[in-house]
Chains A and B, each alone.
Chain A
Amino acid sequence: MKSFEKKKNIKPVKTEQQQYSVFFAKLNTPVVFGLFIFILLFFYLQKQLAFHFYYIEQEQLFLWSRAYFLSFIIKPAGLLQWLTEFCVQHFIQPYLGALIMSVILTAISILAAGIIKRIASTANLHILSLLPIVFLLYMHFDINYLYEGTVAYLLMLLVMYGYFCIGNFLPRIIYVTVSGILLFWCAGPVAFLFTVCVFLWEILNRFSKAFVFILPILLVAALAFVGVYTSLADNYRLLLLPDGYYTRQLHPGTEIYLSWVVLPVILLLCRLFSKRQHTGRKRKYAEYLLQLMSVAVLFGFTIEKFTDRSYDFFKEFNYYTRNGQWDKIIERCDEGVNNYLHLNFLNMALIEKGELAEKMFSFPQGGLQGLTVTWNMMPHISALQSDIYFSIGHIALAQRMAFEANVSMQNSNGAMLKRLVQTNLIYGAYPVAEKYIDLLEQTKYYSEWAHEHRRFLWNDYAVENDALLGMKRKCIPVSNTLIEEQNIHIDMEYIAIQNPAHQASIQYVGALFLLTKDILLFRELLEKHYGTDVLPTLPKSYQEAIIIVTEQDPSKWEQFNISEQVIQRYNEYKKQVLDNRGNAALPNLLKASFSDTYWYYYMFYKL
């Protein structure tokens, strides 16, 4: 009968219930489970962290060279760093950040599920394999978290899976000892987690011989001691705990430990339920569903607590800046401007569009800090300042800040190295520009840009005739001065006079005086330059400001060609102010019609 059925290829008809069972049986396979997790992760990461990935990419510079590889392989956790940098370099491309991290996190989940299946196949605890990735995900929102931590976790689970495949005592202890040492060399602190987890598992399962497994822990600890003794790391925390996967000079929050703590907890649960009898399918799926819901609820309730989203806008604006998408910044600021950094990006975008003097008061300005925040030595502020100074034509400061940012990021910031290429080409410092070009040419994603800039080396004619570099070269003061940042307006005015075509420079000086309400200096500036190439026409905010300065002498308005429209608006403004004298609601009354004027800023913004 069987052979007849085979020959005729006749399959027995399955009931609806049987068909569901087959479907769920398939769902249980690692591939389907993995695919499901991967898709979920991909969409989540792309939605939440797309700009974060672009930002993270700028914190390392992966070089495609043998020497670069060898420089990593000779140091502890060097291989891990090399692997991670290899992955992170691709984050510059849309979707690749989310894609790569989804693959890595999914692989972590699959390996964790594989381990759970191996040690407690009947316990129905497979969904717990999502816990490590939930906890690892928290860290991925933090710009100071090093993605080595996630890749190291994956390598550690791979090694741990190998451990659970070995049955005999002797091969097991040899494997754990050797792989613990190798893991320490290749991936750093996760070796400690691995050896501790193994020891815990041995205690739970084979108590009498378990203490032998202290040996790998001691060896890893000894290696850490050597690491500290030889100054590879400043303390044991960085060699034995996940702190090693966080920016060295900073201390991570407690959330970095969660993914580490959860692993022994999962092992403990597996041990507790490993002797459990097979359950019925319905019960099994109900348990899976319960676990899945618990993980989802846990994630939903804790994600806000453990992640800092306040810099999301910074990463987004940084991306627009890197790609010259100034309109996007202005568009996003139309939705609201919340802090000085917002304003720095906005004003830079307006400068780049040549609209600062015209439109700056269309947005709620915040004084001098809104134009350029105080430098606090943080790398992202240094990079932002470099962008701003480059926009306004202060090449010396743009170069300085690019250098500071790059040094803070281990000389590995591709965007700032590009800036250093530009500034050194502008200065004609060709040998050092070539050094940076050589470096960028060894990367995958900056090489084309770098190669294109090679043509400027030792070619003043090419530099001077390039739209960007030529224009910025003209901004270098002919006579040297010492930079005093509190007097930056002096440098900027000098640059504006020297290169009147670079209107950003004079607009910056004007904005600086307006935002600090220094209208006397502003008037002096206009009297010196209005009608010259430096300031051929008066933009809207300048007209508004000059009315304040010359209110007692309206004859001057003609001299400055104040438009009828501005004068009419000023009269309306003045009328409203006079009509509502003493009214506490005056600011709000004026806000609706005049918040985009310098008068409103001048009257109500407190310096």
Chain B
Amino acid sequence: MKIKSFVKKFLKYLVLFFVIGNISCSDNIHINKTLDTLPTIFPDYTNVTIPYNIAPLSFKLIDSAVYTKIYAIFENDMQQMEIKAKNGQFSIPLSSWKKLMKDAAGSTISVTIQAKDQDQWISYPAFQIFVAPEPVDSYLVYRLIEPGYDIWNEMGIYQRHVEDFHESTIINNKRTGYGCMNCHSFNMQNPEKMLFHLRASHPGTIMINGDKIEKLNTNTEQTLSALVYPSWHPSGNFVAFSVNDTKQIFHTTDPNRIEVFDFASDVVVYDVNRHEIITSTLLNSNSIFETFPSFSPDGKTMFFCSADTFPMPHEYNKLKYSLCAISFDPESCTFGTEVDTLYNAKLNDGKSVSFPRVSPDGKYLMFTLSGYGNFSIWHKDADLYIIDLQNNKTTPLSTLNSNDVDSYHSWSSNSRWVVFSSRRIDGLYTRPYIAYINDAGEPAKPFLLPQKYVDFYHRFMKSYNIPEFVTSKVEQNGFKLSEIAVNDTGIDVTFGGTR
């Protein structure tokens, strides 16, 4: 009897709750005043271009404290969605967002914010969200690590389903002795062909090729170090790597805080099937630093960064890398005899190139330019540039760049989206921004990877490092990867000579 009456009461209050809820969501709004400036919102989603398969863009109105009620009205030609702010934040339910996005590809969504200030309703001018016709790759893989000096604690490589808010672990360092793991890389956004390095404890390189997982010991007597910055050959048979004698040092005054530099570096190519490293005299010079190799999508060219050496670390700020290219024949695994320079750091405005990445359609190459050196993730002047590979014309991506670090970037498989690392929010913690690049290589305003809770980035104390798009989920299990990392003695990679 008691249970019955309890259930009755519960249902009564439940109905009442929804009725009141609906009323509150259906305020009779009569706008008394329309403001003439766009609302200040975080993240800044005003006039951004997004893919239709992205997760809901929850945001907050910065000056929400002065209002008693706030609504955001999302509308396009077909439908309208009204979201009431809670504590100034608009949290859009996934299902409502999906409904809004269902047929929105190629269209524009108008967002109007209306707020009640004492007895008056005010309205901000509407801002637009442009929905691109092309989707973005559904997964984003990144490493999460503090932007620190020497010490790390827990770190790992994670994948985020960008169509919702689900993040899962590919591998973390809890089962690998809390060592460092870095430089994860995929072959043409393919989640089945992945590699990453383990450092400090259980060192080695983990190569994933479908169900086949190998651990490689990549130190050889003939090379400077274990393999470092990778780039897969599209055939999957080779991976270009740099080998670097790297150090880091700290500044007393410079806002960049940390300086990472090489005492020496070369570029090599690893033959996946023969477990062998080869190189070229043009990539292996003592008087030149070569680093950041990057294969073109047709596999016939390898781009890399190259700089004349200087005494390090004292002349660290004289080191400027040019963007170079050398041909590569995958059949014979040989390099060309000439190096082309696409961006000459000596001739131009004296800046330094890092992270060259070619779009999968082969049309554009995006890279980072900063004042000097190659570790641009710590350089506040680092900005993104694009080269049209048909005419070698270099253009700054001003729409993407900010006053702070804008650096590591990767393309989506359809060449229409890039994700890049930026420190524009607080100057220290790297966050992933996604931007649309049209067929003409022109960028649209980027947007911050949406999170379920708007304040997430404010609370979160780790950086998003090396964001890489992949077309679907990485299915390899962290447990299995850790087991191999810890227990496998690894395959010793050999040096096959200079070609």
Residues of A within 8 A of B (CB): 63, 67-68, 228-235, 248-249, 377, 382, 394, 396-397, 399-400, 403-404, 407-408, 410-411, 427, 429, 431-432, 434-435, 438-439, 476-484, 491
Known: A481-B253, A482-B249. A400 touches B174 (CB 8 A): no
| CB 8 Å contact bits of B239-280 with A (1 = contact, 0 = none) | 000000000011111110101000000000000000000000
Known: A411-B146, A429-B428. A67 touches B459 (CB 8 A): yes
Which one, B15-23, B24-32, B295-303, B474-482, is touching chain A? B474-482
B453 lies within 8 A of A407 (CB): no
What are 16 A-B contacts with C-beta separation under 8 Å? A231-B169, A231-B175, A232-B174, A396-B253, A397-B250, A400-B149, A400-B250, A404-B149, A407-B152, A408-B151, A429-B427, A434-B426, A438-B458, A439-B459, A476-B252, A484-B249
B479 lies within 8 A of A482 (CB): no
Q: Which residues of A contact B172 (CB under 8 A)?
A: 231
- The complex places the Cα of A423 from the Cα of B136 at a distance, in Å, of 40
Q: Which residues of A contact B250 (CB under 8 A)?
A: 396-397, 400, 482-483
Interface contacts (Cβ under 8 Å), in number, total: 108
Most buried by A among B178, B251, B252, B456: B252
- The complex places the Cα of A408 from the Cα of B156 at a distance, in Å, of 16
B149 lies within 8 A of A481 (CB): no
Residue of B nearest to A382 (CB): B151
Residue of A nearest to B482 (CB): A231
A231 lies within 8 A of B255 (CB): no
Known: A67-B459, A407-B146. A248 touches B174 (CB 8 A): yes
Most buried by B among A68, A377, A480: A480
B251 lies within 8 A of A483 (CB): yes
A403 lies within 8 A of B253 (CB): no
- The complex places the Cα of A478 from the Cα of B254 at a distance, in Å, of 10
B453 lies within 8 A of A432 (CB): no
Q: Which residues of A contact B461 (CB under 8 A)?
A: 411
The 6 A-B pairs with the shortest beta carbon distances in the complex, nearest first, are A411-B461, A234-B174, A480-B253, A431-B426, A231-B478, A234-B175
Q: Which residues of A contact B175 (CB under 8 A)?
A: 228, 231, 234-235
- Tally chain B residues at the interface, Cβ within 8 Å: 42
A230 lies within 8 A of B479 (CB): yes
B459 lies within 8 A of A403 (CB): no
Q: Which residues of A contact B482 (CB under 8 A)?
A: 231
A431 lies within 8 A of B427 (CB): yes
A228 lies within 8 A of B151 (CB): no
Q: Which residues of A contact B251 (CB under 8 A)?
A: 396, 480-483
A231 lies within 8 A of B426 (CB): no
Known: A67-B453, A435-B429, A482-B313. A403 touches B252 (CB 8 A): no
Q: Which residues of A contact B178 (CB under 8 A)?
A: 248-249
B252 lies within 8 A of A477 (CB): yes
Least CB distance from A357 to B in Å reads 24
Residue of A nearest to B461 (CB): A411
Q: Which residues of A contact B495 (CB under 8 A)?
A: none
Q: Which residues of B contact A233 (CB under 8 A)?
A: 174
Least CB distance from A402 to B in Å reads 10
- The complex places the Cα of A403 from the Cα of B427 at a distance, in Å, of 15
Residue of A nearest to B168 (CB): A230
Least CB distance from B134 to A in Å reads 33
Known: A431-B427, A432-B427. 14 other contacts (CB 8 A): A67-B453, A231-B478, A234-B174, A396-B251, A404-B150, A407-B148, A407-B152, A407-B153, A434-B426, A435-B428, A435-B429, A439-B458, A482-B259, A483-B252
B455 within 8 A of A: yes
B171 within 8 A of A: yes
B252 lies within 8 A of A480 (CB): yes
B127 within 8 A of A: no
Known: A229-B477, A438-B458, A482-B313. A476 touches B153 (CB 8 A): no
- The complex places the Cα of A383 from the Cα of B152 at a distance, in Å, of 15
- The complex places the Cα of A411 from the Cα of B151 at a distance, in Å, of 12
Q: Which residues of A contact B253 (CB under 8 A)?
A: 396, 476-481
Residue of B nearest to A427 (CB): B255
Q: Which residues of A contact B456 (CB under 8 A)?
A: 67
- The complex places the Cα of A408 from the Cα of B149 at a distance, in Å, of 12
Residue in B314, B426, B479 whose beta carbon sits within 8 Å of that of A435 in the complex: B426
Q: Which residues of B contact A429 (CB under 8 A)?
A: 255, 427-428
B42 within 8 A of A: no
| CB 8 Å contact bits of B419-436 with A (1 = contact, 0 = none) | 000000111110000000
A435 lies within 8 A of B458 (CB): yes
- The complex places the Cα of A483 from the Cα of B171 at a distance, in Å, of 34
Least CB distance from B156 to A in Å reads 8
Residue of B nearest to A379 (CB): B151
B316 within 8 A of A: yes
- The complex places the Cα of A478 from the Cα of B428 at a distance, in Å, of 22
Least CB distance from B57 to A in Å reads 18
- The complex places the Cα of A377 from the Cα of B316 at a distance, in Å, of 26
- The complex places the Cα of A427 from the Cα of B253 at a distance, in Å, of 8
Residue in A408, A432, A435, A439 whose beta carbon sits within 8 Å of that of B153 in the complex: A408
Residue in B151, B174, B459 whose beta carbon sits within 8 Å of that of A377 in the complex: B151
Residue of A nearest to B317 (CB): A480
Residue in A231, A407, A491 whose beta carbon sits within 8 Å of that of B151 in the complex: A407
Q: Which residues of A contact B313 (CB under 8 A)?
A: 482
A431 lies within 8 A of B455 (CB): no
- The complex places the Cα of A484 from the Cα of B459 at a distance, in Å, of 33
CB interface residues, B 220-237, toward A, < 8 Å? none
